[in-house]
Amino acid sequence: MINYDYIMVRFGELSTKGKNKIDFIKTLGNNIKNALKDFNNVGIDIRRDHIYVQLNGEDYLPILTRLQDVSGIHALSLVYKCSKEIDDVKASALELIKQEKGKTFKVKVKRSDKQYSIHSEEMTRIIAGHILRNTDNLTVDVHNPDILLSVDMRQEACYIFSSTYEGAGGYPLGVGGKSMHMLSGGIDSPVAAYLLMKRGVMVECIHFASPPYTQQGVIYKLEDLLHKLNRYQPRIRLHIIPFTKIQEAIYDNVDESYCITLMRRMMFRLADRLAHRRKCPVISTGESVGQVASQTLASMNVINAVTNMPVIRPCATMDKLDIIKISEKIDTYEISIRPYEDCCTIFTPLAPKTMPHLDEVIEFEKKFDYESLIQEALNNVEVKFISEDDEEIL
């Protein structure tokens, strides 16, 4: 087995220009450093077009696996470093290609060191010839090879790489700003948070708790969910809003079929206020069109009317099964399906409105002083930080 020296990180979608690109690369470099902080020996070398993770003897596999979760990385390649002696290059190229699966290959030589005595085309012939002579079932295919063996002759050494692994894609976390994310204990909202993170957006979470109707177990559940998401965002702020009084006021004053609509309008009012306070320019949710009564387009319209902020709904058009697939991938599914009562499930009326009328909603809202209840809830927010480093909650 060959011991790889580096993992080369490629940016892909990040190929923007100018100052943005510099900021992106800096942010990505920091995110990578943070993701690999438990690997004491690795070094990170940030260049204009790539980031090199120097393995310094560490096993590549756990590092590669960790890097595959870092957003903003398009692809990852394992790199072997050898001397520029032609015999050394030939032998290394052969060793590397023997570890690959495939029937056809292509050698691609880049001569970054313009002083190097052998030209690229000749190098390509020498290396490919050596591989053909010393393997049994490999042939050259220059158009669509199974294995692309890249050889980069630089000033200081020769770098060879073949295996390329897919990265998470998207943008580096942090370049997209921050969203106030409504987190329930369900399946959808953690998935929505993950999709935002992948897009470079950090989240702060807001949760509406209605004790004693909802239990402390829900909060543990949220903490466990956020611990899973810490893999994508190492530190997450969770705001827990006391929602009981608002919910009771609604049920005392509002026709049953309108309770969910009003409750959700109150949630969005609170999210809007907190988002302003926390300097988040948008709100986000795990809503999915048509899933339940409050998620018909007509309901969304009436509910959304309480805020001017954009509301991002990453799961909006996804099928439940596809949302579940993602939740399994990010390991939140098993936590999400734990049976705990949510404030939405507790007061669920038998026949919630799927076509609420805004004028009726406004009439109901005149019947109680929700503004002071909202103020009171905001004055009593409980804040928790969920981070990778506090293991005891796990």
Considering the complex, what minimum distance in angstroms separates the CB of residue 216 from ligand ATP?
Answer: 14
Residues 145-184 that bind ligand ATP (CB under 6 A): 182-184
Residues 6+ apart with CB under 8 A from 204: 178, 179, 180, 181, 236, 237, 238, 239, 278, 280
Select from Mg ion, ligand ATP, none the partner in contact with residue 225, using the beta carbon and a kind-dependent cut-off of 5 to 8 Å: none
Check binding of 92 to ligand ATP (CB under 6 A).
Answer: no
Longest Cα separation, the chain: 87
Residues 57-76 that bind ligand ATP (CB under 6 A): none
Residues 11-50 that bind ligand ATP (CB under 6 A): none
Q: Among 96, 173, 187, 202, which residue sits at the site for ligand ATP (rule: CB under 6 A)?
A: 187
Q: Which is nearer to ligand ATP, 14 or 267 (CB)?
A: 267
Considering the complex, what minimum distance in angstroms separates the CB of residue 187 from Mg ion?
Answer: 8
Check binding of 314 to Mg ion (CB under 5 A).
Answer: no
Residues 342-361 that bind ligand ATP (CB under 6 A): 342-344
Residues 6+ apart with CB under 8 A from 362: none
In the block, tokens 């690795």 appear at 42
Closest of 323, 302, 321 to residue 313, by C-alpha: 323
Answer for the pair 343, 243: CB distance below 8 angstroms, yes or no: yes
Q: Which is nearer to ligand ATP, 64 or 218 (CB)?
A: 218
What beta strand segments (E) does the chain contain? 6-10, 43-46, 50-54, 73-82, 104-111, 139-140, 147-153, 158-169, 178-182, 202-209, 235-242, 282-284, 311-312, 382-387
Considering the complex, what minimum distance in angstroms separates the CB of residue 345 from Mg ion?
Answer: 7
Check binding of 374 to ligand ATP (CB under 6 A).
Answer: no
Check binding of 186 to Mg ion (CB under 5 A).
Answer: yes
Considering the complex, what minimum distance in angstroms separates the CB of residue 184 from Mg ion?
Answer: 4
CA angle (361, 366, 368) in 5-degree steps:
115
Considering the complex, what minimum distance in angstroms separates the CB of residue 284 from ligand ATP?
Answer: 7
- Residue 322, Cα to own-chain centre: how many angstroms? 16
**390's tokens:** 């506090």
CA angle (391, 231, 42) in 5-degree steps:
95
Q: Which stretch binds ligand ATP (CB under 6 A): 51-59, 129-137, 169-177, 291-299?
A: 291-299
Half-sphere exposure of 365 (CA within 13 A, CB side): 22
Q: How would you classify the pairing of strands 50-54 and 6-10? A: antiparallel
Check binding of 184 to Mg ion (CB under 5 A).
Answer: yes
Q: Which is nearer to Mg ion, 186 or 356 (CB)?
A: 186
Which residues sit at the interface with ligand ATP, rule CB under 6 A?
182-184, 186-189, 206-208, 285-287, 291-292, 294, 342-344
Which residues sit at the interface with Mg ion, rule CB under 5 A?
184, 186
